[in-house]
Amino acid sequence: MSFIVSEGMPRHLGDVQSGYETWQGPSAGYIAGLRGQSTLTFEQIYRSQPAVYAVVNKILKGLSRLPLLSYQMGDDGESRARIRAHALPRLIKRPWARHSDWDLKVEMIYDLLVHGRCLAWKFRPGPGQPPRELWPIPWPDVQPVMDQRGIIGFNIYLGAGVYSISPDDAVYLEMPHGVPPLEPLKRTLTLEEGAIDWQENSLANGVTAKAVFTTNIQVTNKPAMEALRAELMPLYASGPTGRTLAI
């Protein structure tokens, strides 16, 4: 489409601003940060969504205040007695060097709330020996090994090394059915990003002005305007959609 402007300057015709820079929805900052990325991670959602960050931290701190206690079940399978002088409560109280049970709970509950799964590695000084330390492993560094029976082991990626451990050497927890709590929000943000992309591309690929013709002469005579349009159409119009608008 071309414009003919009579007596005066035409309006400024610039590029359409990207929808990501002008979007003011509730996920504006997050979606702007995802420009050019194809994968949304739960870690990014937690760090960029204020509501998610606040709720996860509130639940995490509340659950971390609950004590981890050790009990020994009775012979009847129902009664229990708390144990204190034992390797298990000492391990829970000091899971690894210079860290407490609070650190263990924070690390594991965080992964459970954000990723839907968590794992602590039982470090044993030798095969068959009781674990000496419990190392919480960030879930993104863990890969479950599965077959038709379910999980049969875990691959742990630390630095450049890969360590394979059996379920007996892991404390593994997961949300119901293994679905991360942030999965519904992840799907919503993905749809929102797709909708904004569609709007942006719709504007970018819409009708745009190819040329602007200006004149200082007032063209008020309709036949003269029609004659001007008829003269310009064969030169600048491109098919039935390349019409010339006279203003």
Helix, strand, or coil here: 227?
helix
Residue 18, pLDDT score? 45
Helix, strand, or coil here: 154?
strand
- For residue 135, the surrounding DSSP H or E stretch is strand 133-137
Helix, strand, or coil here: 56?
helix
Q: Strand ranges (DSSP E) for 41-132?
A: 71-73, 80-82, 117-123
Model's pTM, two decimal places?
0.65
Place of tokens 């200082």: 216
In terms of residues, how long is the chain?
247
Higher pLDDT, 246 or 37: 246
Query: How do residues 20-72 score in pLDDT, each as one tens digit?
Result: 344 444 444 445 444 444 467 899 889 988 999 999 999 999 999 999 999 99
8 Å CB contact between 117 and 174? yes
Query: How do residues 194-225 score in pLDDT, each as one tens digit?
Result: 787 778 777 776 666 656 667 777 777 788 77
Task: Identify the CA nearest to 59 among candidates 46, 68, 48, 73.
Answer: 46
8 Å CB contact between 219 and 194? no
Task: Identify the CA nearest to 165 among candidates 146, 152, 174.
Answer: 152
Paired with 122 in beta bridges are 134
Distance CA 118, CA 112 (A): 5
8 Å CB contact between 92 and 68? yes
Over residues 177-192, the mean pLDDT reads: 84
Nearest 5°: phi and psi at 142? -115, 135
Distance CA 56, CA 111 (A): 10
Residue 189, pLDDT score? 79
Q: How many CA atoms lie within 13 A of 160 on its CB side?
A: 0
